Structures are given as structure tokens and as C-alpha cells.
Structure 1
């Protein structure tokens, strides 16, 4: 069995690489997709393609609309959606992605530290699992694919 996993959320740490490496080391059949993780490209894609905007609101709006095409496709095609909430920024887009995935009935894994447990309690309640580390996400995916529990 292959799983299609969409990796959503914060883009300032290497959590995606950790999950990919763990999945590869475990020999799991997982295909990943994700949003554009180049922050500047994500912010400026709309004006770079469709033309400049003087008002920052419309600049951001164009980018958000264009990015939503990729985000919707990735979430809709996924078997499992992993949404990471980091420490550095408030990720409203990550919360939106988690809600969209939940509304579509997608299996949802939320990834965040203990310090965000209260703030994300409603998001966590919509998830099938809440992990604190990328290694836990790998173990969750291993269990889903093989039924194997973590070694140790």
C-alpha cells in the first residue's frame, strides 16, 4: 500500500526533511507533496505572474489565491495530511489547511510542541493523531502502512 501525504505548515525548520529521511530509512511507500516552501516565492507569486499591485492587500491576495490552487490540490489528493505548527510564527494558513483537511474527511496528523496544546485544542480535536516530533510522525505512518510498533 502507498500513502500520499501532504506536508503543510511552517516553513522555517527542516521538519519535512526529517520526516522524508525517516520514511526512507524505514522503507515505507510514501509519496509526499507540499506547499511552496520558498517564503519569498510564495508571497510574491501572484504579482510576479499576474502583475504588480501598489496596495499590499491586493499583492497578498493575488499570492494567496494562486497558492490556494496548489494547496487545495495537495490536500484533496492526499490520504494523510500532516500539519506542523512551529514556535516562531502564528501559522493561520496551517490552521486553515487543518480545517480544510478535516472538512474533506482526510486523515489528519497535527504536529506541534506541548506549549501549543491549549491554543490548538480545537485543531487537535479534529485530528486522528497529535505528534510532538517528526520521528513520531514517521512512526505513525509506519504503523498505518505496516501495523508495526516502534522499536525500543
Structure 2
């Protein structure tokens, strides 16, 4: 059985590639989808499709509607959501995606370092599983499909 996993979280590090590579090494039956990882395209997609906007707020609104559509379609198809909260970047999109997964009743694995325990305690409490690193999330995935 093949599972679709939506990978929510910051797009500035290679955490998705690490997870995908290790999943392939373990021969686990997971296919991964997620947000647009090309930051410039994500920011510019509204103007690229519907044309130049009169200012930065309008540009952001145009891009957000398209990015939200992408997230909605892919997350609705997903069997599981993994949301990574990193230490370096602002995590608003991660919080929104994790909350959306909970609202959609999608199983959720939350990855967050120990130092983010307090600010994420309510969200963590609503997740199915909370771990502190990618390796632990991989171990959960392995266990899920263990014969």
C-alpha cells in the first residue's frame, strides 16, 4: 500500500530531501508532496498568472490564493501530514498547515525541537505524534508500515 505524505514546513533548508532520501533507503511506501519549494516562484506566481499587481499587498494576495489552492488540493489528497518547525525561520506557514491538517482530521506528525515545546504545546497536544527530529519521524513512518 502506497501512502501520500504532505510535508509542511519551512522551505529554506533541505529537510524534505533528507527525509525522502532516508525513506527511499528504507524502501518505505511513501510518496511526498508539499508546498512550492522555489521561494521566488511562490512569491511571484500571482503576478506570473494574472498579471502585475498595483502594490506588494496585492501581489502577496494574488500569490497566496494560488499557493493556498495548491496546499488545499495536495493536503486533501494526503494520507498523512508531517509538519516541521525549525529553529531559524518564522514558522507561520507551518502553523497554518498543521492546523489545517488537524481541522481536516488528517493524521499529523509534528517535528519540533525541544526548545519549541512551550510555544507549540497546544498544537503538539492536537497532533497524533510529536517528535524532536527527522530521524524520529522516519522511525514512526517505518513503524506504521512494519509487517
Question: Which TM class, normalised by the smaller chain length?
Answer: over 0.9
Matches within 5 A, 1:111-130: 111-130=111-130
Cα deviation, 1:48-105, whole Å, max 9, x if unaligned, reads 1111112211110110100011101111111110011112222211111111110111
Question: Runs (4+) of structure 1 moved beyond 4 Å?
Answer: none
Residue matched to 1:74: 74
Aligned to 1:150: none
TM-score, with structure 1 as normaliser? 0.92
Mapped partners of 2:114, 2:38: distance in 1 = 27
1:143 pairs with 2:130: no
Q: Secondary structure at the match of 2:32?
A: strand
TM-superposed CA distance for 1:21, in Å, is: 1.1
Corresponding residue of 1:31: 31
1:43 is the counterpart of 2:39: no
Give 5+ residue unaligned stretches, structure 2: none
- Alpha-carbon distance in structure 1 between the residues aligned to 2:102 and 2:33: 18
1:107 to 2:107 alignment: yes
CA drift at 1:111: 1.0
For these two proteins, the number of residue pairs brought into alignment is 147
List gaps (5 residues or longer) in structure 1: 148-152
| Secondary structure of the structure 2 residue equivalent to 1:21 | helix
Report the RMSD for the aligned CA atoms in angstroms: 1.1
2 CA distance for matches of 1:16 and 1:9? 9
Residue in structure 1 matched with residue 11 of structure 2 by the alignment = 11
> 1:18, 1:135 within 8 Å by CA — same for their partners in 2?
no
Q: Take 1:135 and 1:51, find their aligned partners in 2: how far apart are those partners?
A: 43
